[in-house]
Structure 1
Amino acid sequence: MNRIAEDVIGSHMRVAIRYAAGSDVGRTRENNEDSAYAGPWLLAVADGMGGHVGGEIASSLAVETLAPTDAEVPQPALVDTLEHAVLSANQAIAQRVEQEPALQSMGTTCTAMLWSGTQLALAHIGDSRAYMLRDSILYQITEDHTLEKMLTGEDGAAPHLANRLVRVLDGKPDRKPDMSLREALPGDRYLLCSDGLSGPVGAETLHQVLTSRPEPEAVVQTLIDLANQAGGPDNITVIVVDVVAEGVDATPPVVVGAAQH
């Protein structure tokens, strides 16, 4: 579903954030363990793990805990506000595991953005990803927290390690996300996704789709279709965000995947 939100920069420029989100179970999984949230200020993708039920619960808890952060936050407080929300999500998972010990193996990735004007805070833990398309160049702006990345420093060097996560939200202490503050410019396009997209669909294809389709909703659907055409080995969750220099009315947020139910 496509949604549009507005923010005002100074007295002259209006910056609109246009966004769309979608999630698909893929071709090989029985249930969708991904969750995502896209709203006027907050965007988040969570890829759950831990078995048939556990992954759904972990990703849903993360999105449900983050959702109240979807509000206007002063720019100096962006990073702290988002980091606190992610740490609260980890605590919510810890509490659920304490209540139901059978869920002790569950966890979730979390890649989230919190916006204020032309600034955004980025929080990241796990191997979901955020990309930025600027001036027709695609940048991966998160780093995968996998054993492969930790040992080799580069993707593709040890395929058998690719999916071994070393940092996730699983309720254990010290699960701190990577945090950064970024400047967004009109014309930027952002992609947040689970590895169900970034695994089977390469960066060149991502770039081609992101640069060739103007509407975020069309990009989301095309990317999901491409991941499924490549075998759909995992759940596929995608958020696409455009930053444009024009004012439009805000509309309600979108929740997709396991957290939707």
Structure 2
Amino acid sequence: MNVTIKYAAGSDIGCVRQNNEDSAYAGPRLIAVADGMGGYAGGEVASSTVIGSLRSLDTDVPVDDLESALARAVAEANEKLRIAREERPDLSRMGTTLTAMLWSGTKAALAHIGDSRGYMLRDGELFQITKDHTMKELLNPDSGNGPDESAEASRLSHVLYRVLDGREDREPDLYRREARLGDRYLLCSDGLSGVVDPQTIYEVLTREAEPADAIGHLIALAREGGGPDNITCVIADVVEADQVGAVREPQIVGAAERL
């Protein structure tokens, strides 16, 4: 059986920010979301540099090499951030999250660092497939993300202890995943997951058949919730290849769109 992904990407500045520091990529074999940080220029440069570096992975990669290829690409992207920081002192505080999946049929490698998230919808259930690299999660991994959390817990939920920022020892979590026909994957920045609760995300993902429609609905909900941050989503549906029409061009959204 010839399996592929049907994908879409979308990004929105939100209702408060003056610029979009998120970047994302969606193509036939690679999907990725990066949420930049570090001030007006820094976040844009960090996220777009990483997405621009990873996009070369969107090609045929042997199944046995998925994890190693993705790990090398992330390391190369981090090295580009290091060089950029050295060349431009004004970028010394920049960094970015990254959640990316590299596909070959029903096999995928997942790389994750930061607090952007990956979700999987399978057999009517929604699973979070990444772990937030926040101080809140590190100190109390069973704390959850309820609306009644303390002010201290809320503060810690925004403090990251792992990001890509050009420094050494910035290795992402790296997993092999076995996808199934009918799976739907969502990668998103915390501009979505920090505003729209998992139950609502689940309802949208199960109701909207087309990835682009689901993304539009999710972004609208995040804006309705105040849109305090940039909002970026990528959705990939695992389908039989003959369900996808003509070959689609990859989508690049957010800061990386201006590369």
Fold agreement, TM-score > 0.5: yes
Give matches, 1:120-199, under 5 Å.
120-154=108-142, 155-156=144-145, 158-199=153-194
**Structure 2 Cα separation of the partners of residues 124 and 183 of structure 1:** 17
Q: Output one character per residue of 1:105-128: Cα deviation in whole Å (capped at 9) or x when no partner.
A: 000000000000110000000000
**Structure 1 Cα separation of the partners of residues 131 and 217 of structure 2:** 24
2:199 to 194, 198, 204: 204
Identity of aligned residues (%): 55
Give the equivalent residue in structure 2 for 1:227: 222
**Structure 1 Cα separation of the partners of residues 240 and 57 of structure 2:** 24
**Structure 1 Cα separation of the partners of residues 172 and 40 of structure 2:** 25
The gaps in structure 2 that reach 5 residues or longer are none
| Aligned amino acid, residue 116 of structure 1 | S
Give the equivalent residue in structure 2 for 1:8: none
User: Is it true that 1:28 corresponds to 2:25 in the alignment?
Assistant: no
Segments ≥4 residues shifted beyond 2 Å:
154-157
**Structure 2 Cα separation of the partners of residues 208 and 147 of structure 1:** 29
**Structure 1 Cα separation of the partners of residues 235 and 61 of structure 2:** 22
Q: TM-score scaled to structure 1, two decimals?
A: 0.94
1:255 to 220, 236, 252: 252
The gaps in structure 1 that reach 5 residues or longer are 1-12
Instruction: Report deviation, 1:239.
Output: 0.5
User: Is it true that 1:54 corresponds to 2:42 in the alignment?
Assistant: yes
Instruction: Report deviation, 1:241.
Output: 0.8
Root-mean-square deviation (CA, aligned residues, Å) is 0.8
**Structure 2 Cα separation of the partners of residues 122 and 159 of structure 1:** 27
Task: Give the secondary structure class of the aligned counterpart of 2:2.
Answer: strand
Give the equivalent residue in structure 1 for 2:236: 241
Q: Output one character per residue of 1:38-80: Cα deviation in whole Å (capped at 9) or x when no partner.
A: 0111111000000011000000000011010111100000000
Instruction: Report deviation, 1:251.
Output: 1.6
User: Is it true that 1:79 corresponds to 2:67 in the alignment?
Assistant: yes
Q: Is the 8 A contact 2:4 2:28 kept in 1?
A: no
| Aligned amino acid, residue 20 of structure 1 | A
